[in-house]
């Protein structure tokens, strides 16, 4: 398995953990009566971008090297 193919499930696991942390922070803030923490980009969107990038990189590597890697 190439590095890009192996990194896809890792990126998804890290993204799921980050999304859960964001949700927990929002719930905790709501229970304390505070505004939810400001997020620059949602963890779900960042994970989707990372996985899509890894998938594209994997396709490029596998097609350019003819399955050698």
Q: Where are the domains of the chain?
A: 3-64
**How do residues 40-61 score in pLDDT, each as one tens digit?**
889 999 999 999 999 999 999 8
pLDDT at 66 over 80: no
| Calpha distance 55→49 (Å, rounded) | 10
Report the pLDDT averaged over residues 8-20: 95
Sequence-separated (6 or more) residues with CB below 8 Å from residue 23? none
Percent of the chain's residues with pLDDT above 70: 94
CA-based nearest residue to 10, from 47, 40, 58: 47
């Amino acid at each position: 398995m190439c590095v890009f193919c192996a990194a896809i499930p890792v990126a998804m696991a890290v993204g799921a953990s980050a999304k859960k942390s964001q949700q927990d922070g929002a719930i905790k803030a709501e229970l304390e009566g505070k505004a939810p923490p400001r997020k620059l980009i949602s963890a779900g969107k960042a994970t989707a971008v990372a996985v899509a990038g890894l998938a594209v990189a994997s396709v490029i590597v596998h097609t350019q090297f003819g399955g050698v890697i």
